[in-house]
Amino acid sequence: MAGYKLISSDSHVVEPADLWSERISPEYRDRAPYLSHDETTDQWYADGVKFGIVVAGTLAGQRFEDPTKLTFEGRYEDSLLGGFDPHVHVTDMDADSIQGGVLYPSVALDAYSIPDSGLLSATLRAYNDWLADFCAPYPDRLRGITMLNVDDVSEAVGELERCAKMGLVGAAIPIKPGGERYDHPIYDPLWAAAQDMGMPLSLHTGTFRWNKEGGWQLKTQMADAVEQTNREYHVRNAMGAIILSGVFERFPKLRVGVVEFEIGWAPYFMNRLDDTYRDRPVGQTSYRYQGDALPSDFFRRNAFISFQEDDLGVEMRHHVGIENLMWGSDYPHPESTFPKSKEIVERIMDGVAEEEAALIAGGNAAKLYRFN
């Protein structure tokens, strides 16, 4: 591969079947998430609520062989061992020409659908502990992302601090929180803590918080083709709330990323932000920046985007900012570029200046997540 290294800014683990029964805090042991071997798939439950199907770790590479066999049904025994075992994970990285990986969950992405906030927090704490242990044998190759419950912001700040001490390097928050939108000042302590600790925050696809008014309103998001095609709608709302309320002006070193939504939506969204800010009635844009700054200026300075195969988005890279773009493999999920990541990245970067390709393919992720 021409003069650059691959670092995946979006890879995944697959939580083992005994994670929560073994690791959840004692007061929640009798309510720990449990795995049920349903008729056609292995399915996770918590308090009687379904979440987290197992297929995420079972079909990597199938898209290249026979896409018609891609399914939302799967069993643990069919999962790639690299989802559970860090040694196999790194071996698969080597086979895929990947130098380092930033790790998100599979099942726990779905945990935000657990209604009880205390049980959700206990579930995510146990996962965070397990993830730190998963990354520990390969500190130069694996970087873990904390999962945060933001129902209670002070609790989220405490968990962020705890996980930073364990060596995790960032945190995911739900795209759609269950309470106030991200333009509410209740979240300011979280923005401040993430900034001060140098912990970038992520909005990863599929992370919708349950709420009592509508339950988990977006349950079809991953299963319905129409929702899947338009899924960036929800992350635009989250980023719009953050940017238009002046969060990045008040917390200038905070980084917030959009993960697994590709790139192409971003230039249009940035133009819409500026148009709304400049030309709409003040009641719709009540926060005003200092000087002549525009919302897109803060997107370029504070936001980042993790993508997989967005050729068109890479063509528009200068609109978003070269240093804000990071490639990710999504290993071991069905849509992953594994085991053809090198080939796919070389195709996407065809015609891109080598210094720009080096940043997008790995350099930006290396800097943000502190790879050696």
Lowest-confidence pick of 68-72, 147-151, 293-297, 319-323:
68-72
Count CB-CB contacts under 10 A for residue 77: 8
Residue 47, by phi and psi: left (phi above 0), alpha (psi -120 to 50) or beta?
Answer: left
Per-residue model confidence (pLDDT) at position 55: 62
| 363: containing domain | 6-30+81-368
pLDDT digits (tens, 9 = 90+) for 93-110: 999 999 999 999 999 999
Task: Say what the pLDDT of residue 224 is.
Answer: 67
| Mean pLDDT within 314-333 | 96
Sheet holding 201-204, edge to edge: 6-12, 98-104, 142-147, 170-172, 201-204, 256-259, 303-307, 325-327
Amino acid 58: pLDDT: 62
pLDDT per position as a tens digit, 183-233 = 999 999 999 999 999 999 999 998 999 876 554 444 444 456 777 777 788
What's 176's DSSP letter?
B
65 within domain boundaries: no
- Is 80 exceeded by the pLDDT of residue 284? no
- Say how far apart CA 216 and CA 115 lie, in whole Å: 9
Nearest residue to 295 (alpha-carbon basis) of 280, 306, 310, 307? 280
Confidence check: pLDDT of 308 > 60: yes
What is the token pair recorded at 16? 């083992």
Ramachandran angles phi, psi of 176, nearest 5°: -125, 100
Looking up residue 156, the CATH number of its domain turns out to be 3.20.20.140
The reply to whether 42 falls in a domain is no
Who's near 292: CB < 8 A, 6+ residues apart? none
Average pLDDT, the chain: 91
Among 55-59, 79-83, 258-262, the range scoring the smallest mean pLDDT is 55-59
User: For residue 334, is pLDDT > 90?
Assistant: no
- One-letter amino acid at 145 equals I
| Residue at 162 is within a domain | yes
Residue 10 forms part of a structural domain: yes
Question: Is residue 62, in this structure, part of any structural domain at all?
Answer: no
Q: How far is 217 from 210, CA to CA, in rounded Å?
A: 7
Residue 77's pLDDT is: 83
DSSP 185: G
What whole-number distance in Å separates Cα of residue 11 and Cα of residue 3? 22
Number of domains in the chain: 1
41 within domain boundaries: no
pLDDT for 220 equals 44
- Does residue 57 sit within a domain? no
Residue 244 within a domain: yes
